[in-house]
Amino acid sequence: MRARAALLPTVALVTLAFVALACTTLPGRSTHHGDTARHRYALTGERGPVVVFENGLGNSMSVWGPVFEPVSRFARAFAYDRAGVGGSRSDAATRDGETIVRELRTLLAELSLEPPYVLVGHSLGGQFVELYARMHPEEVAAVVFVDARHAEFGTRCLEAEAERCAVPWYAKLFLPGGPRGELAAAEATTDAIREAGPFPAIPVRVLTGRGQPPDMPNLRRAWAESQADLARLSPLGTQEICEACGHYVQRDAPERVIAAIRALVE
């Protein structure tokens, strides 16, 4: 229960954004059929390193619509749907972070997309890119956390007696099967991050949205503190706060996300 709590800074974002942004179409869409998984993905761009976008809970790759094509002008932009979303599927019985990292690495290798990568993670996707960087530091050049969830946020949220730490039952009803599995495996993912190797000393950019509901001061404070700690994962980490942004910084201020990625690529 502890690790399942507070997967998002506000309770409704997981369902509202999934509906609002699902209609966006990314360029370069295709499907890869592997031995144990099938993934829908988008790949575009002719030069530069591969920028890998990792979605938040319940989101398809379309959530990156405002930034994907602009990033492809100076890098190779890659986004995908995790199993259980947008036609992607997997034979894996669990949807914990180690499984997701393994499937992503396999997909990148089978598409001949070579490291090192710039990983960009939003919300719960931030935990997956953090785990990737800890498990395979030689494959990661830099990380951008887009209002991403800190691995210890669930515990901190409960300790702060914050408002609405748990994802409510009605939000779970809108989640496809894969994201429900990720939610069920949240504790295992958190444990994997704790037990993995140290986070590498690579450039890190943390983009934080401040425009969360003002009637949840404890939640806002716990989220703000965990965001600052993400920037401290690396001695090369920095944080940028967007006062007007909500949880989806890539939608509210896409230019900030694009600029952060460009700075790391160039």
pLDDT tens, position by position, 123-175: 999 999 999 999 999 999 999 999 999 998 888 888 887 767 777 767 777 77
Residue identified by tokens 């914050």 is 162
Q: Does position 192 have pLDDT exceeding 80, yes or no?
A: yes
Backbone φ and ψ for 206, nearest 5 degrees, come out as -115, 120
Contacts of 93 (CB under 8 A, 6+ apart): none
Interatomic CA distance for residues 153 and 144, integer angstroms = 18
Domain range list for the chain: 13-265
Confidence at 214, pLDDT banded by 50, 70, 90: low
Give the sign of the dihedral formed by CA 55, CA 70, CA 24, CA 13. Answer: positive
Confidence at 42, pLDDT banded by 50, 70, 90: very high
Mean pLDDT throughout 187-202?
96
Paired residues of 79 in beta bridges:
42, 53
Interatomic CA distance for residues 124 and 250, integer angstroms = 15
Check residues 8 and 203 and name the one with the higher pLDDT.
203
Residue ranges in the chain assigned as alpha helix (H): 13-21, 65-71, 97-110, 125-135, 153-159, 169-172, 177-184, 186-195, 217-231, 249-252, 254-265
Give the sign of the dihedral formed by CA 76, CA 147, CA 9, CA 251. Answer: negative
Interatomic CA distance for residues 207 and 79, integer angstroms = 19
What totals of helices (H) and strands (E) does the chain contain, helices first?
11, 9
Hey, what are 174's tokens?
A: 């809108």
Mean pLDDT throughout 191-211?
95
- CB 62, CB 19: distance < 8 Å: no
Confidence at 5, pLDDT banded by 50, 70, 90: very low
Confidence at 45, pLDDT banded by 50, 70, 90: very high
- Assign 19 to helix, strand or coil: helix
Q: Which amino acid is at 155?
A: T
Domain 13-265 has CATH 3.40.50.1820: yes
- State the chain's mean pLDDT as an integer: 89
Interatomic CA distance for residues 86 and 257, integer angstroms = 24
Hey, what are 88's tokens?
A: 């992607």
- Per mean pLDDT, which range of 65-74, 152-161, 169-178, 200-209 is the poorest? 169-178
Model confidence over 153-162: pLDDT tens digits? Answer: 888 888 887 7
Mean pLDDT throughout 104-116?
98
